[in-house]
Amino acid sequence: MRTKNIFKALALAMLMPAMMLTTACSNEDDAINNGDNKKGYPLQVTVNVTRQGDKATTRATYNESTRKLEFSTGDKLFVKGKDTSVGGAGSFAGMLDYVSEGTFSGTIYTQNEYSSTADALFTAANSDEVVAMLFPNGYESYEFLSLWGSGYSTSYSMNLNKAIAATKAAAVEQLSLETAKTYSTGFALSPENAILNFTITGLTDGAKDVTLKHGSTTMFVGSVTPTSGTATFALGVGIEDLSFSPVNLKNVILTIGGTDIDITDADNNLTAGKIYNITRSAAPAATSLSELKTAINGGTDCSSYIGWEVNSEGAIAASSVSGTKIGYVALVSTSDVDAGVSGSRILVLANADAGTSILWGSYGTSRGLTADDLNGYSNTNTLQGNGSEAHPAAYAAWNYSAAIPSGGATPAHWFMPTKKQWENMRDVYSGGNLDKRNAMVSAYGIDGTYWSSTEYNNVRAYRFSTNGGLQYYVKNGTSATNVRAVFAY
């Protein structure tokens, strides 16, 4: 039983705790795919893969419903190893192509002919000397992996400085390196690095150089071209292959277009097989409402400024703003935050109440302000025009004494938020989560109930409760509550 048995199909049960890993291949000819100038003995192998994915570490092509990995045309399995048995095949290597239903097939070249079965090639080998790697479709275009040699002597190397993908989609579908260094009943592939998926906003047009450093060590260099000021790309971090393992995001700096970006504010060690989605802005940090508004109009994601303090001159700071503090950045938007204030992009919530235990007013009278809209300015103006006795809550908000910074949207005035504006302030801070809403309450120094400028009917108006969200309450009688004003910039 010599060559005849060697051509038997090899069924491998493959357990796949696969992962998202950065990889690419050079444009060199794959020596082990090219039948010319081969040395050694060709062994045709078909691998039937049992697709049992681990949700925590698999590629993005993990199927939630079937709980399996799903391969695609163009995926390849590279196998190399060494048969150390007496009279064995010696070294062997080959690239197997994906066929269908988890089956890979191709030719493995052995150093020597031998009298045995295909199974013996693997079981006789030292388990630490057998390696299998899964290369998803498209890896050839990224120059991350180099294959060289011919036949059984084929080897590979990785170049971490080239592990960059121009899009997240490419990272998900193509930048996946999965390896196994043991063999028993099948190849158990395990992750070797992590994916950093970046979305960087606030960029100008034109190609941008990209560098990723861990401390003083450069991990990656490359370039990206933003679309509408945003660059989306992926980098891979080889956890086991880098001398400074484990890689901690706290010590990683991304430089794009000459701007250094600290990509984390937390102590977080990267884990092989994990994907880290990181969104940052490369735009210079805004130090005033005016600069913040310019950044918003330019399409920059400015949600990170929610909760920043504002002073009477329009300066902003994450905490302890200089000068006289008047409020907080409570909402940012690419459209008007108040329908009656043209060009308004920022809603500033006062840092103190305009009044406490105040009646809404005009019990039994409707002013027609029942729409769930963004007309806080016009609503408050309408109400306060009827005098402090008719509508005391609106009058208190309209006449709040803190100075409003110049240079913003017009008309500039303190007003009482509508029901919808209260909801927007709550949701942008908390996503509707009660625990986070309580954090908003703590950050803004509000606690209890606050009037809105939206009516429910002729006897009730809406108010915002820090305990239960939006509710309606009677305008007069025992329904006195607090007033917190805002202005639109």
Summarised one tens digit per residue, pLDDT across range 325-340 is 999 999 999 999 999 9
Q: Both 310 and 334 in a single domain?
A: yes
Q: Both 205 and 152 in a single domain?
A: no
Q: Is residue 380 part of a domain?
A: yes
Q: How confident is the model at residue 473 (pLDDT cuts 50, 70, 90)?
A: confident
Q: Which of 35-49, 199-213, 298-312, 408-422 has the highest mean pLDDT?
A: 408-422
pLDDT at 474 over 80: yes
pLDDT tens, 56-92?
333 434 444 544 456 678 888 788 888 877 777 888 8
pLDDT tens, 438-468?
667 777 888 889 999 999 999 999 998 887 6
Residue ending a domain, among 281, 300, 333, is 281
Residue ending a domain, among 155, 190, 225, is 190
DSSP run (H or E) holding 173: helix 168-173
Q: Which two tokens stand for residue 86?
A: 């007496």
Q: Can you tell me whether residue 333 is helix, strand or coil?
A: coil
Alpha-carbon torsion (406, 409, 415, 418), positive or negative: negative
- Domain of 482? 289-488
pLDDT at 488 over 70: yes
Q: What is the pLDDT of residue 14?
A: 28
Rg (alpha carbons) of the chain, rounded to whole number: 32
Q: Which of 275-279, 360-364, 395-399 has the lowest mean pLDDT?
A: 275-279
More confident position, 409 or 142: 409
The span from the CA of 95 to the CA of 154, in Å, is: 10
Q: Both 116 and 239 in a single domain?
A: no
Q: Is residue 414 part of a domain?
A: yes
Average pLDDT over residues 20-49: 46
Q: What is the pLDDT of residue 310?
A: 97
Q: What is the pLDDT of residue 143?
A: 59
pLDDT tens, 297-326?
988 778 878 889 999 999 999 888 999 999
Q: How confident is the model at residue 180 (pLDDT cuts 50, 70, 90)?
A: low
Average pLDDT over residues 142-150: 64
Q: What percent of the chain has pLDDT over 70?
A: 66
Packed helices 419-430 and 434-444: angle between N→C axes, nearest 10 degrees: 100
Q: Both 351 and 402 in a single domain?
A: yes
Q: Both 242 and 332 in a single domain?
A: no
pLDDT at 267 over 70: no
Q: How confident is the model at residue 251 (pLDDT cuts 50, 70, 90)?
A: confident
Q: What is the pLDDT of residue 432?
A: 56
Q: Both 182 and 245 in a single domain?
A: no
Q: Both 339 and 272 in a single domain?
A: no
Peptide bond into 17 cis (omega under 30): no
Q: What is the pLDDT of residue 426?
A: 84
Q: Is residue 171 part of a domain?
A: no
pLDDT at 367 over 50: yes
The span from the CA of 350 to the CA of 21, in Å, is: 48
Q: Both 301 and 393 in a single domain?
A: yes
Q: Is residue 151 part of a domain?
A: yes
Q: Which of 104-108, 166-170, 171-175, 437-441 has the lowest mean pLDDT?
A: 171-175
pLDDT at 243 over 90: no
Q: Domains in the chain: how many in total?
A: 3
CATH number of the domain bearing residue 260 = 2.60.40
**How is residue 380 annotated by DSSP?**
H
Q: Both 51 and 186 in a single domain?
A: yes
Q: How many Cβ atoms from other residues are within 10 Å of residue 62's Cβ?
A: 20
Residue ending a domain, among 227, 247, 281, is 281
Q: Is residue 170 part of a domain?
A: no
CA distances from 81 to 9, 125, 230, 431, 449 (A): 18, 7, 44, 52, 71
Q: Is residue 116 part of a domain?
A: yes
In whole numbers, what is the pLDDT of the chain averaged over residues?
75
pLDDT tens, 112-130?
877 666 667 777 666 567 7
81 Cβ contact list (under 8 Å, min separation 6): 91, 92, 93, 121, 122, 125, 129, 130, 131, 183
Q: Is residue 417 part of a domain?
A: yes
Q: Both 131 and 254 in a single domain?
A: no
pLDDT at 103 over 90: no
pLDDT at 355 over 60: yes
Q: Both 241 and 359 in a single domain?
A: no
The span from the CA of 196 to the CA of 110, in Å, is: 38
Q: Both 305 and 438 in a single domain?
A: yes
Q: What percent of the chain has pLDDT over 90?
A: 28
pLDDT at 40 over 70: no
Residue 236's identity, in one-letter code, is: G
Q: What is the pLDDT of residue 201?
A: 83
Q: Identify which of 278, 365, 374, 286 has the alpha carbon closest to the alpha carbon of residue 335.
A: 374
Q: Is residue 294 part of a domain?
A: yes
pLDDT tens, 186-236?
555 666 667 788 888 878 778 888 888 887 878 778 888 888 778 888 877
